[in-house]
Structure 1
Amino acid sequence: MSSSTSALVIALVGIAGTLASALLTQRSANNSKIRELERADRQRAEDRAYQAEQAAIEARRTCYVALNIAARLYQTALTNFLVAIRAGTVTDEIRTDVDDMRRDHRARHAEAQMLVPDAVLTAAGAVNSHLSNLYGILRRLDLGEPEPGETIEVAAVMRVETWDLLSAMRTVMRHDLGIAP
């Protein structure tokens, strides 16, 4: 092989190496960029999932607070109603207060039915049912038309039992939020 042919072959190999090096560098850079974009996409998806989870927890927490407050205010209004019936001093203001608290509690309970997990809904349903039964007894006692076995003493026992149901509901709510063990 002549020196000019050798020089030409060496030059062609050098040019091919330079071109191949540029192509390989570009391909490597493209692969790195693709991996970086995929990592960023995964991170954004994880961030969105985390934010959605946090928003759901916050919505449940807000619902739990509203439901707990409404149930306790309804319980307090029923207690006032019970005391007034016992003393014979029921007023339209007391009746209105009970009806307002009842409506508010029902609204919060209906809201919870669309948002909370079954365990919380079961506990909230027990509270709702118990408060509704207590309200019915007190209302019939107020009207002077109690059903057999409905007395002020039965209503007083039910009122006390409500606190255990409220406590159980609160415990289930706190557990769902990860606050209680």
Structure 2
Amino acid sequence: MGRPSLDLGDESGAGGRAPAGRGQPAGRQAGYRRYRVELMNYLWLVHRGEVAPQGRADLEDARHAMHAAFSEAQMMASDPVLAELDAMTITLSQAYSRTMRLEEGNPRPGQSFEEMHATLTGVEDQWQAMRGAMRADLGVGPASDGPPAVGP
């Protein structure tokens, strides 16, 4: 049975330019998304007993890319964006640690496969908040999502 995989497409953000001093928010979000997807893939490999060196390498590559994106953000992102990225970093780091304990056969109470899967699939509200902070920082947040105001 093959490993579950989600196609991320090209989300490097290389085509767009962020305002001066804000870095590449699309690339940042893509790095976090890739790490979350690889964590989910790896969790499934652990659950099925199919962990192989390539699966671990894929996870570690994504993990290092996310940490690089976070390091850049610490220097360039606004405080509201950084707060959301920090919260997501903590969530994903905890999920990584719990997944490794599960792989080792030493999960703590509340860290079963099902609970870990629910954690990784249940970060949608947190993800929306992170994306919203980035969009607001770029001036395309909820206030500017609607039709343009009509003058008198």
> Which category describes the TM-score, using the shorter chain as reference length?
0.7 to 0.9
Question: What residue is the counterpart of 1:135 in the other structure?
Answer: 96
Given candidates 75, 79, 84, the residue that maps to 1:123 is: 84
Q: State the 1:102 CA deviation.
A: 0.6
The unaligned stretches of length 5 or more in structure 2 are 1-16, 144-152
- Identical counterparts, % of pairs: 33
Counterpart position of 1:98: 59
Counterpart in the other structure of 2:19: 57
* Cα distance between partner residues in 1 of 2:28 and 2:106: 31
Paired position in structure 1 for 2:139: 178
Per-residue CA deviations over 1:39-80 (Å, capped at 9, x if unaligned) read xxxxxxxxxxxxxxxx972441x4311210100100110110
* Deviant stretches of 4+, over 3 Å: none
Structure 2 letter corresponding to 1:57: P
Deviation at 1:148, TM superposition (A): 2.9
Task: Give the TM-score normalised by structure 1.
Answer: 0.65
The Cα of 1:162 is off from its aligned counterpart by 2.4
**1:114 pairs with 2:61:** no
Q: Which structure is higher in helix share?
A: 1
Count of aligned pairs between the two proteins: 126
Q: Distance in 1 between matches of 2:18 and 2:120?
A: 33
**1:28 — aligned with what?**
none
What is the deviation of 1:146?
1.5
Where does structure 1 lack aligned partners over 5 or more consecutive residues? 1-54
| Structure 1 residues 102 and 173: CA distance shift in structure 2, 3 A | same
Q: Does 1:68 align with 2:29?
A: yes
Residue in 2 aligned with 1:31?
none
2:130 maps to which residue?
169
- Name which one, 1 or 2, has greater alpha-carbon Rg: 1
Q: Which amino acid aligns with 1:152?
A: F
Q: Distance in 2 between matches of 1:143 and 1:127?
A: 24
Residues 156 and 56 (structure 1 numbering): CA distance in 2 closer, same or farther, change over 3 Å?
Answer: closer
User: 1:99 offset after TM fit, Å?
Assistant: 0.9
Question: How far apart are residue 85 of structure 1 and its match?
Answer: 1.6
Instruction: Calculate the aligned-residue CA RMSD, in Å.
Output: 1.6
